[in-house]
Amino acid sequence: MLFSVATDAAEESNCFGSQDNGRLENGWQLPTSGKNYAAYNNIGVMTGRNYVHSKVYKVVVDAYSLLETQAPSKVYVYGESGYKEGGKFRPHKTHQNGLSVDFFVPVIDSEGLSVKLPTSILNKLGYGIEFVGTGEYNGLKIDYAAMALHLWALKAAADKNGVKIWRVIFDNELQKQLFKVPEAKGLRDAMAFSTNKPWVRHDEHYHIDFSVPCRP
């Protein structure tokens, strides 16, 4: 069963405009960590860069809850989402109305164990990491199976909470590796993956834009 973690924010959010030209009222701050996930860095949390629309909050947290059962050995890291009141969110072009979330790719080490992607000021809080080949970085490999399971969990949580996944932005070449794993069967038909070349590579994270009704 999916469930949402309680939050101190009692009032639901309101979004305005679009992801690249909008704002947010009553943004909810994502939890710093859970049993199987953590925020990318405490710096981002302390500077308020992990706020989302209340409906997106429920989707993100419910998906991680579902993965506790479906993928109990996997650990996940989420990245930036936006400010409490939305608005311009440099260096991102979007993330303005609480409906955009970055998720860092899950990785396995040389022994095949799921580990947290190392994020620090030395690699721009994770955003400076560059995966090469089929998804390798400093002895770590992208865990495409875990990534596919996370995307399916987000889809299930979004359906439950009346939210739609508008698009997924992930490196075009690495998408080919993702779709090769059995866990990703049907995924390309279940949600829209961007086929355009993004303005930044999106190899260390996958950006997801959610869709809920927003005011002009």
Question: Which CATH number does the domain housing residue 149 bear?
Answer: 3.30.1380.10
Q: Establish if 31 belongs to a structural domain.
A: yes
Residue 183 maps to a domain: yes
pLDDT value for 6: 47
Q: Is 76 helix (H, G, I), strand (E, B) or coil?
A: strand
What is the separation of C-alpha 45 from the centre of its chain, rounded to a whole number of angstroms? Answer: 15
Domain assignment present for 8: no
In the predicted model, residues of the chain with pLDDT beneath 50 are 1-6, 8-9
Q: Which domain holds residue 88?
A: 14-211
Task: Tell how strand 140-142 and strand 51-52 pair up.
Answer: unpaired
pLDDT of residue 198: 67
Tokens of 31: 């939890």
| pLDDT for 3 | 40
Residue 6 maps to a domain: no
- CA 214 – CA 216 distance, rounded (Å): 7
Query: 91 preceded by cis ω (within 30°)?
Result: yes
- Say how far apart CA 201 and CA 118 lie, in whole Å: 18
The whole-number pLDDT of residue 199 equals 65
pLDDT of residue 8: 47
Question: d(Cα 164, Cα 177) in Å, to the nearest integer?
Answer: 25
pLDDT at 123: 93
Tokens standing for residue 205: 């994270």
> What pLDDT score does 114 carry?
98
- Using a cut of 0.85, tell me whether the model's pTM lies above it: yes
